Amino acid sequence: MTEIRFAAPALPKDGALVLPMAEGATPAGLAGSGLAAQVDRALSGRLKAALKAARFTGKKGQTATLLAPGAGLSRVIAVGLGKAAELTEDGIEAAGGTAMAALLAGADAAGAIAADLPQGAPKGIDAAGFAARLALGARLRSYRFDRYRTTEKPEDKPALKAVAVLAADAARAKAAYAPLARIADGVFITRDLVSEPPNVLNPAAMAERCRALSKLGVKVEVMGPRELRRLGFTTLLAVAQGSANEARVVVMRWNGTKGGGRKGKGAGGPVAFVGKGVTFDTGGISIKPAAGMEDMKWDMAGAGAVVGLMAALAGRRAKVDVVGIVGLVENMPSGTAQRPGDVVKSYSGQTIEVLNTDAEGRLVLADCLWYCQERFKPRFMVDLATLTGAIIISLGHENAGLFANDDTLAAQIIAAGKATGEECWRMPLGDAYDKQLKSDIADMKNIGGRPGGSITAAQFLQRFVNKVPWAHLDIAGVAWQGKDKPAVPKGATAFGVRLLDRLVAEHYEGR
């Protein structure tokens, strides 16, 4: 992991230096007093000439590199911020991620990022916040899952050990970054969980990873097969019954208000998050095609996001009461696996005809959602799940599918998604879709056919929600990415951690 630190703005004596620049601020702006201007003077105008030759204008995401420029520096890298007046927190973090990617590509053990707030930036962004967001983006992009690379050559490993963010008020910038660093910790926990191979991360092993949150003050309760059977988690256990790795349900509680739900305006129980944790999904008897089945190690990404979110909230000592529940199972075919045509009775008492054993995540969530609302009486519930391939057909890999029974909660999630770059698109719910779940022999069936597959899956979940404000995030298309993005390297994204932390911070924390 690359260390992020803060320092006063001074021209480094060696290593690589990144200069984030707003559109239109260069090359003419290099005559000013900022660090970029200092660099240009130290290089006798070569920076200005190089940027002009590269046609660098500061457009968002644009980069230009000057190699071995002199003055002791190995590289000077310009990164475009876009128009100063249109800067957003997400855009600043993207610039920080682009800066980190450029630094990691070199042979330097140390680098620096200048954090000169561009003139004309929106009023809501100050110098300390600008530096902190650059640092967050850099930290997020630095993630690397390499614990199983035992023969990697030294020249193929990142050389970068530390990055200094050069800020006018380094102390304020460091203070602004402190809670963001805890969010990044939560993101990294989720990325680690989602990246682990399924022979390492089975339900019991993931439950033990959850126990580690107790070090942050999270109360962790792990329920095994015997207790789950006694309580009535029948549909969840039915998914797990074909595997030698037995199911677990983990309940995590962060009591940030020092005494439970607040009274008065906005009173209620905790906020609640529920995650689907299928640590490997073969499809069961309704087995998936072999091609691409290895991707099903991350069918627990919803649960992984809940674990990372709980770590982020506890890490930054959020003033809110939160419950996180994850249902952990492995879906395998065997002589004991559930069959298409089975009827199971859920924790709620409703019966389900299982027509497709690959539509298993909704069975796991059904029991967890009902248990959550019955035991904790939450103010709202949000579930996260890599639930359907159909959502990828609908929305590709750019947005999560959002389904909700509450317009206010839906609007809050959409806004938080835009602010963090974890965007959601609201999908419909309705009686016509719900009728597709009608069974001839049970209260419902677990699939509604190919038309509107993501919607009927959400309709199924809604049957286990009652009147609690609820939202369902189908993250099948956004939990893993096949290419690098500015602040998210290829692989596990930890989608949902930053989004839901923002939701809590803006609308529920301290209320």
How do the domains of the chain map onto residue ranges?
Answer: 3-168, 183-507
Identify the H or E element spanning 491.
Answer: strand 491-492
Query: pTM score, two decimals?
Result: 0.96
Whether residue 469 has a cis bond before it, omega within 30° of 0 = no
Per-residue pLDDT at 29: 56
Per-residue pLDDT at 26: 62
Per-residue pLDDT at 357: 98
**CA atoms of 85 and 316, how far apart (whole Å):** 30
Sheet containing strand 342-345, edge to edge, reads 342-345, 351-354, 444-445
Q: Which of 139, 141, 362, 379 is catalytic?
A: 362
Per-residue pLDDT at 258: 77
Determine how β-strand 351-354 pairs with β-strand 271-281.
unpaired
- DSSP three-state, residue 125: coil
Which residue numbers in the chain have pLDDT < 70? 25-33, 259-267
Do residues 137 and 90 lie in contact, with contact meaning Cβ atoms separated by under 8 Å? no
The yes-or-no answer on residue 362 being catalytic is yes
**CA atoms of 59 and 73, how far apart (whole Å):** 24
Determine how β-strand 321-331 pairs with β-strand 248-255.
antiparallel
| Domain topology for 183-507 | Aminopeptidase (3.40.630)
The yes-or-no answer on residue 288 being catalytic is yes
| Domain topology for 3-168 | Leucine Aminopeptidase, subunit E; domain 1 (3.40.220)
Residue located via tokens 């959550």: 372
Do residues 252 and 308 lie in contact, with contact meaning Cβ atoms separated by under 8 Å? no
Say which amino acid occupies 66: L
pLDDT tens track for 235-282: 999 999 999 999 999 999 999 997 654 433 345 799 999 999 999 999
Q: Which of 288, 319, 418, 511 is catalytic?
A: 288
Do residues 89 and 9 lie in contact, with contact meaning Cβ atoms separated by under 8 Å? no
Do residues 390 and 312 lie in contact, with contact meaning Cβ atoms separated by under 8 Å? no
